[in-house]
Amino acid sequence: MTFNSPRATALAVLVAVGACRTAAPSASITSRAVPDSIRIRDDIGYLASDRLEGRRTGTAGNDSAAAYIARRYAALRLDPTAATASCGRGCAPAYLLPFTAREAVRGEPPRELRTQNIAGIIRGSDRTLAQEFVVVGAHFDHLGRSAVGALDPDAKDAIRNGADDNASGSAVVLALARRLTQHPTKRSILIAHFSGEEQGLLGSAWLADHLPVPLAQVDAMMNFDMVGRLRDDKLIVYGVATAAEMQGILDSANSVSPLKISGVGDGFGPSDHSSFYAKDLPVLHFFTDVHADYHRATDDADKINLGGTVRVVDLAERVIRSIADRPARLTFTKVATTARASSTPSTGSAYFGSIPDMGSADGDGMRISGVSPGGPAEKAGLKGGDLIVEFGGKPIKDIYDYTDAIGAFKPGDEVTVVVLRGPNRDRVVLKVTLTTRGS
């Protein structure tokens, strides 16, 4: 999970990931007799092992993690979303979706990182509803050996394994995939693992723009990020107001062995669900909260609460089945952005109400993926997809210029914002009156 603007300085490394099946690191990966907790332990143990060096996007360790997850998809017999690789007898289906992530780096041109998402489909059991999809996903990358973005910079190039962030979410999605393949829902399920989250939701933004199924046929997205440290039965769930029916579905699912859920209505937030909410899709994001090991080299597998993680799987499965089996689609609702999800740094500073598109990294402006309903940006006429090139007389080249420009003003100031809009990049000049959050 990332709570900061992208500042990573990883070297782009092109590593070919073979689609041919190889042996999983543990026999328990494919044994149907092993409980969920053991499967989750094995998945987290491999993904968060030193051999992968923290799975940083653009590194060999990240590619190895992607290949491992693809093998797990093959063992579960998920339908591939890409053409099957032609590498001879014994090849696994092609679940890898390669793309080039453009990473924003302050004071430098955007860096290109060759990486990949992973995706597969569990076909629905209902002849009609199987044409609709629920996306279930998590990011699998982490910080690696880089101190950029880390909260323990004194540890320098120590491996930051990210057991909770986000080997835990990756393992939970695999556990859900196993359950859902055994007993399919009426609607189909698109299982996905994203790269590039720590650099700014790059993988999920790419997949939301390049879905292997029609966007109009996607009903909702369920995201799992840092779900391995359940404490005192407390679980945070973002997006509970993004569909009219969502709170009731969550409450009903939580009636069995209930957790203490803290609901956040907003669908934008510091993880991959934001990329799908920006496409006007209902979302839920499951999160067991930050802890002292967040973005540090001490986030290791032995600190995972396996029993608590299985409880998250139990709850999430009930929620997914409720959404995927209901006769009617969810009713999407736009929600005012909360303080936790906004890019504006503090409650006392000027509030603009836009949602940066962290995956754009154009280098010639700051693209926004959406605007907060009722906020200054929406009232002034800004729209998702606009490329902000000037804010209050200051040129905007990237997210750093953008956040610096907002921080130079105070609530009540009227500023001129210049955007480029549409395929012809029409220049649009808008007047925005900044406010305080919640006004």
Q: What integer pLDDT is reported at residue 11 of this predicted model?
A: 21
| Three-state DSSP class for residue 262 | strand
Question: Is residue 12 within a helix (H) or strand (E), and if so which, with residue range?
Answer: none
Residue 181 has pLDDT above 90, yes or no: yes
Instruction: Work out how many domains the chain is built from and give that number.
Output: 2
Whether residues 265 and 392 share a domain: the answer is: no
Taking alpha carbons only, the member of 434, 267, 438 closest to residue 352 is: 434
Q: What integer pLDDT is reported at residue 195 of this predicted model?
A: 97
Residue 359 has pLDDT above 80, yes or no: no
Q: What integer pLDDT is reported at residue 403 of this predicted model?
A: 83
- Rounded CA-CA distance 324/219 in Å is 8
Share of the chain above pLDDT 90, in %: 68
* Mean of pLDDT over the chain: 86
Domain carrying residue 411 = 354-433
- Note the pLDDT tens digit of each residue in 184-224: 999 999 999 999 999 889 999 999 999 999 999 999 999 99
pLDDT average, residue stretch 418-425: 93
Strands (DSSP E) found in 23-110: 79-80, 96-103
> Per residue in 24-39, is it b (16+ CB within 10 Å) or e — as a string?
bebeebeeeeeebbeb
Whether residues 256 and 380 share a domain: the answer is: no
- Note the pLDDT tens digit of each residue in 4-51: 433 332 222 212 222 333 333 333 333 333 579 999 999 999 999 999
Residue 79 has pLDDT above 70, yes or no: yes
Q: Which of 44-48, 408-412, 419-423 has the highest mean pLDDT?
A: 44-48
Among residues 280, 307, 325, the one where a domain terminates is 325
Q: What integer pLDDT is reported at residue 89 of this predicted model?
A: 47
Residue 5 lies in a domain: no
Among residues 325, 342, 377, the one where a domain terminates is 325
- Fill in the amino acid letter for 54: G
Taking alpha carbons only, the member of 236, 241, 238 closest to residue 222 is: 238
Whether residues 284 and 410 share a domain: the answer is: no
Residue 315 has pLDDT above 80, yes or no: yes
Q: What integer pLDDT is reported at residue 16 of this predicted model?
A: 24
Q: What integer pLDDT is reported at residue 221 of this predicted model?
A: 98
Q: Is the dihedral of CA 320, 322, 324, 325 positive or negative?
A: positive
Whether residues 305 and 418 share a domain: the answer is: no
Whether residues 300 and 244 share a domain: the answer is: yes
pLDDT average, residue stretch 134-146: 97
pLDDT average, residue stretch 272-292: 95
Q: Are 55 and 62 in contact (CB under 8 A)?
A: yes
Q: What integer pLDDT is reported at residue 355 of this predicted model?
A: 78
- Note the pLDDT tens digit of each residue in 93-114: 589 999 998 877 677 777 889 9
Q: Which CATH number does the domain housing residue 396 bear?
A: 2.30.42.10
Phi, psi of 71 (to 5 degrees): -65, -35
State the pLDDT confidence band at 337, using cuts at 50, 70 and 90: low
- Rounded CA-CA distance 183/124 in Å is 10
Whether residues 87 and 184 share a domain: the answer is: yes
Residue 12 lies in a domain: no
- Rounded CA-CA distance 109/182 in Å is 47
Residue 149 lies in a domain: yes
Q: What integer pLDDT is reported at residue 205 of this predicted model?
A: 93
Q: What integer pLDDT is reported at residue 21 of this predicted model?
A: 30
Q: Which CATH number does the domain housing residue 308 bear?
A: 3.40.630.10
